[in-house]
Every structure is written in structure tokens, then in C-alpha cells.
């Protein structure tokens, strides 16, 4: 019997503020590190997470992402967050996955129906909960276990990929008529992530 383990390594230094300019910089975790002696408080500041965003779009939500690209001080720390604003009465953050992170979500105001689907091995069981601190347009804060969690919106990936997935494959996979797949692939798939 053999086994293997995978994990993010512990940081080798206290901070590694991401910079685009590699002058006198060290390359760590996919980003160049600013000289720690040149680090300033603004390297660890993101302004605007408190500002509600416009949810007047096809899905009725807007995600404000705060990852290493928006907040360079997160580099090598293994964390990020997002604010999700939902329109009242039906705003939704489409089903999605984070390929490089685990997500924890907290409803700040309003009411949210949240959940996830277990793996094929566990029968694809849906686990859901209604989170409710209030009765208004909803706002949630999401914490992610990666500085660069990524996001794959399921409908966009399956029906809006470029080049498109062969309709015959999707027709068989979803067990629907080809016209349904053609219609879904012809849609404009909205991206609600900033």
C-alpha cells in the first residue's frame, strides 16, 4: 500500500507582497515579492468591500473579489475573501466551484438559500440551509482558503466554453434533445465576478 499527501507549504518569510515589477524581487507562489523593507500599510489595504454593488444584471448578483490580484499583501498567506451582493427577490450567485479553495460563507443581511452537492461517490446529495439575519436585499461575505481561489461557474463552463463542447457530448451527458443544448449554447452567459 502506498499513500501520498498534498498541502500548501508554510510561508518561508513573514510577508511576500506581490508586485508586477521583478526588479530585485524574489519569485514566490506565482508572484514576485516586493522587498519587505519597502512594504507599506497600503499593501495590506483593500478599500470598497463595504460598498454595495449594482445587482441589476442577468443573475441579480455581483461578486467583489479580494484576492492577491486586488490585495497584493495576501500573497503567500493562503486566504482571500469576497463580498456578494444579491438583488431582492431572486438574486442568485450561479452554481460554481473554487478549484483551489474551500469556501465559508456568512450572511450579513437578508436571507440566503445556500448549499453544495456532495461527490459522485456520496450520491451527489444536495446539502442546503437557509441563512437569515434579516429580510432585505442580501449581502454575504465569503472566506476562501487560497490567495487565488479561482472560480468556475458551472453553466458558463459547460454551455459557454470557447471553443464550445461538442453538442453531441452534452446531449448524451444531460440526456436531452440536441435543440435544448443548441439553445443553451447560444445564450450569453453572464459573469457576475469582479
- Helix (H, G, I), strand (E, B), or coil: what is residue 6? coil
21 annotated as ligand-binding: no
C-alpha cell belonging to residue 21: 515589477
Beta bridge partners of 64: 83
98 marked among binding-site residues = yes
User: How many Cβ atoms are within 10 Å of 188's Cβ, its own excluded?
Assistant: 6
Helix, coil or strand: residue 193: strand
**Is 29 assigned to a binding site?**
no
29 vs 189: CA distance, rounded Å: 31
- Strand locations in the chain (E): 18-19, 26-28, 31-33, 61-66, 80-86, 96-97, 103-109, 112-117, 126-131, 139-144, 152-153
Residue 96, annotated as binding a ligand = yes
Distance (Å, rounded) from C-alpha 179 to C-alpha 182?
Answer: 5
Report how far residue 64's alpha carbon sits from residue 80's, in angstroms, rounded to the nearest whole number: 11
Alpha carbon distance 91, 145 (integer Å): 25
Binding annotation for oxalate:
93, 98, 103
Q: Which residues carry a binding-site annotation for Mn(2+)?
A: 96, 98, 103
> Annotated binding residues, as ranges?
93, 96, 98, 103
Amino acid at each position: 500500500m502506498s499513500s501520498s499527501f498534498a498541502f500548501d507549504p508554510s510561508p518561508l518569510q513573514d510577508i511576500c507582497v506581490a508586485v508586477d515589477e521583478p526588479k530585485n524581487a524574489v519569485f514566490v507562489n506565482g508572484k514576485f515579492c516586493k522587498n519587505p523593507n519597502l512594504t507599506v500599510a497600503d499593501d495590506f489595504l483593500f478599500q470598497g468591500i463595504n460598498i454595495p454593488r449594482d445587482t441589476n444584471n442577468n443573475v441579480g448578483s455581483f461578486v467583489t473579489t479580494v484576492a492577491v490580484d486586488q490585495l497584493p499583501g495576501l500573497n503567500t498567506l493562503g486566504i482571500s475573501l469576497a463580498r456578494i451582493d444579491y438583488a431582492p427577490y431572486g438574486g442568485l450567485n450561479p452554481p460554481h466551484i473554487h478549484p483551489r479553495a474551500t469556501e465559508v460563507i456568512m450572511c450579513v443581511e437578508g436571507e440566503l438559500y445556500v448549499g453544495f452537492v456532495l461527490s459522485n461517490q456520496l450520491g451527489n446529495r444536495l446539502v442546503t440551509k437557509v441563512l437569515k439575519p434579516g429580510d432585505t436585499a442580501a449581502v454575504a461575505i465569503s472566506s476562501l482558503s487560497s490567495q487565488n481561489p479561482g472560480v468556475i461557474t458551472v453553466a458558463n463552463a459547460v454551455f459557454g466554453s470557447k471553443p464550445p463542447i461538442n453538442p453531441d457530448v452534452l446531449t448524451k451527458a444531460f440526456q436531452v434533445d440536441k435543440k435544448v443544448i443548441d439553445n443553451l449554447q447560444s445564450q450569453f452567459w453572464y459573469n457576475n465576478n469582479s
